[in-house]
Structure 1
């Protein structure tokens, strides 16, 4: 391994421009994937924040006593889809209306608003089917007069989430494939630049493994360096957008590390394929000479 690392570094000193070009190409290829991932991450975060606002509001009958309302609230709280059930008294409802609709404060001075139950759903249980199931259960409660949850809005949110997931997957695969092709072509150029060296090594009896290892190390190091550079560029883009456009969320540490590791693996695989192809070509040429 030390020999392979030494030969990879020697190769970089012999052709520094080619090595730098390879790292830069890998970095910008992964940078494009990173930018897309950053956009997808923030879209997903925005959708989660919107989903957190999904709630069911059940208005209590004027004739319902407190014991019956609390019994219904306790029963609804036991539903697996429900996270919290909060009782809002008429006074609290009026205070909220005055606070949230300050320009209409005078309208509420003599108003009387009904008591209600605010029902929030658990994470992962905010889909259309779960909301409708809970809403149906709420309607059956004896103390409840009316149920509202923005049915059309919930359906539109579900459609947006589905479209975003499918589009994100398709575009993510397309960006990843494009990056893989570009990285493979870049590594292939580095291998072709040393084609005569490979041929000479095989002629003097070097095994395929002996010839292949330095190229695998070289590709892995280039992929690792390119991945780190792409991460720095993505972080810089995130900082600029957060400062001048809109605040964004960066990848978790585990995701960022996985991206750098992906660069190293991509460089390794591209090197393995490229040097393997060159070795097969050298072997075919030797058979023809014999």
Structure 2
């Protein structure tokens, strides 16, 4: 390992410009991957904020007694899919309607609106099947007259989320593959520059792993440094967008660390593939 690290340091000293160029190339390829990650993160955040508004509203029969409402709310609060339960009295419903529909204030004067129970669901339990099942259970209670939850809106939201997840997975895989290819090509240039040295090492009996190790370390380090560079560029892009266009969310510390480590992993994979192909060619020749 010490010898392999020394070889990496010597290679950098012999061609620092090529090493820096390799890191920059890898950094920009990972930057493109990072930008896609930021877009996916902000889309997911936006969808989660919209999902938080998913609610079921159960309108109560006229003259519902307090004991009936309290019993209903206790049962709903015990449901594992329910996050919060709130009661809206007829007077509160009318006040809210007047505030939200100010242009119809005259029409609402003297009107009667039924009381209701509003439910918000837990994260992960807002899919159309769960919402519809809970809505059907609510309709079985005698104190409930009608249930509304915007079925079409919930189904469209869930469909959009699934499509976004699928597209994100496919495009993320493509960007990762492109990053591996670019990293592999960068490492291959370094290998080609030392072809003669590799052939000599082969003649003196060096094993494949002995030859591979310096390049694997080199690829991993370049991937890590490229990941750091990509993180800096991504953060700068987020700041610029936040000041000039719109506020965007940046990766948290854990996601940022995972992204940099992913750069190192992609560097390892790319260098492993490039070294393997070159060694097979040298061994064949």
Shift in alpha-carbon separation, 1:177–1:272, aligned structure 2, 3 A: closer
Q: How many residues of Structure 1 are paired with residues of Structure 2 in the alignment?
A: 285
1:254 maps to what in 2?
254
Q: How does 1:35-184 map to 2 (within 5 A)?
A: 35-184=35-184
- Distance across 2 between alignment mates of 1:240 and 1:256: 19
CA shift at 1:106, angstroms?
A: 4.2
CA shift at 1:103, angstroms?
A: 4.1
- Distance across 2 between alignment mates of 1:176 and 1:3: 31
* Contact 1:219 1:270 survives alignment (8 Å): yes
CA shift at 1:210, angstroms?
A: 3.1
Which segments of 5 or more consecutive residues in structure 1 lack a partner in the other structure? 286-290
* Contact 2:12 2:19 survives alignment (8 Å): yes
Which range is displaced more, 276-285 or 33-42?
Answer: 276-285
The two structures, once aligned, show a CA RMSD in angstroms of 1.8
- Distance across 1 between alignment mates of 2:188 and 2:284: 19
1:288 maps to what in 2?
none
* Contact 1:83 1:120 survives alignment (8 Å): yes
* Contact 2:187 2:215 survives alignment (8 Å): no
* Contact 2:183 2:271 survives alignment (8 Å): no
Which segments of 5 or more consecutive residues in structure 2 lack a partner in the other structure? none
- Distance across 1 between alignment mates of 2:175 and 2:142: 55
Q: How does 1:206-225 map to 2 (within 5 A)?
A: 206-225=206-225
**Residues 1:227 and 2:227 aligned together:** yes
Normalising by structure 2, report the TM-score: 0.93
- Distance across 2 between alignment mates of 1:210 and 1:147: 70
- Distance across 2 between alignment mates of 1:155 and 1:94: 29
* Contact 1:72 1:142 survives alignment (8 Å): no
- Distance across 2 between alignment mates of 1:160 and 1:269: 33
User: Once superposed, which parts of structure 1, at least 4 consecutive aligned residues long, lie more than 6 Å away?
Assistant: none
Normalising by structure 1, report the TM-score: 0.91
* Contact 2:31 2:233 survives alignment (8 Å): yes
